[in-house]
Amino acid sequence: MKFFIDTANLDDIREAQALGILDGVTTNPSLMAREGIKGEKNIQEHYKKICDIVDGDVSAEVISTDFEGMVKEGETLAALHPRIVVKIPIIKEGVKAIKYLTEKGIRVNCTLVFTPGQALLAAKAGASYVSPFIGRLDDISEDGIGLVKQIVDMFNYYGYETEVLAASIRHTRHIIQCMEVGADVITSPLQPILGLLKHPLTDAGLEKFLADYKKVNG
Ligand code: G3P
């Protein structure tokens, strides 16, 4: 399972990269705004900085909602760096843009996916990734992980190569559940990823090992 970090914060990206387990980054307009990055040029520069830190794919989202606008933005974003993947929302114009960009060799991450039907359309249009939003479904008492499983099973059944990128991850348990249902990729803020390390028996065991060593070695 690939690990992407879902942030535009350069320190968090550096920390995850330094761990040696980072496969990519996803961003969205809200995450860019959270870092105070504004204006087209600054946003583009920020994407380049992210690409300089990580080795893997970096998702950069369009803000247009019409076909021409999405294609123009997508081409500009893709030209920034070979590892940029253009993030397109699953709307009617978005499906057309996914098809167009994919045929031009530009990879797309289809975002804001909340149903298997939306994922199916994105895969048929040629998206490299589809991003079901787990946390936002859980927020409204729906089953986010259930959706990831439905999409994984559907893609396996039909042999789609589109990767299932589980997004809107809120806690460590979500990452484990994604692993259990076979998500290809998870994208998560840094803390839920670091949460995977935690276990009280690990801490207690390490403390005892070090204490025993010290007893003999001083
Ligand atoms: O990048 C899309 C997604 O991960 C957003 O997460 O927490 O805003 O629902 P969240």
Residue 16 in this model has a pLDDT that exceeds 90: yes
| Assigned token pair, 171 | 């806690």
Give pLDDT, residue 78: 98
Residue labelled with tokens 């990055």: 37
Give pLDDT, residue 166: 98
Q: What is the pLDDT of residues 79-128, one digit of tens each?
A: 999 999 999 999 999 999 999 999 999 999 999 999 999 999 999 999 99
Reduced to 3 states (helix: H, G, I; strand: E, B; else coil), residue 181 is helix
Judge whether 124 counts as a catalytic residue.
no
Residue 182 in this model has a pLDDT that exceeds 90: yes
Pocket perturbation via mutation, ligand 1, pick of 133, 134, 187 by most ligand atoms within 8 A of CB: 133
| Assigned token pair, 119 | 């994922």
Residue labelled with tokens 């961003």: 27
59 lines ligand 1 (CB under 6 A): no
Angle at 124 between CA 160 and CA 77, to 5 degrees: 100
Give pLDDT, residue 128: 98
Alpha helices, DSSP H only, in 20-143? Answer: 29-34, 40-53, 67-80, 92-103, 116-125, 134-139
Q: What is the pLDDT of residues 41-82, one digit of tens each?
A: 999 999 999 999 999 999 999 999 999 999 999 999 999 999
pTM to 2 decimal places: 0.96
Q: What b-and-e string marks burial along 24-43, b requiring 16 or more CB atoms within 10 Å of the CB?
A: bbbbbeebbeeeebeeeeeb
d(CA 150, CA 135): 16
Q: How confident is the model at residue 218 (pLDDT cuts 50, 70, 90)?
A: confident
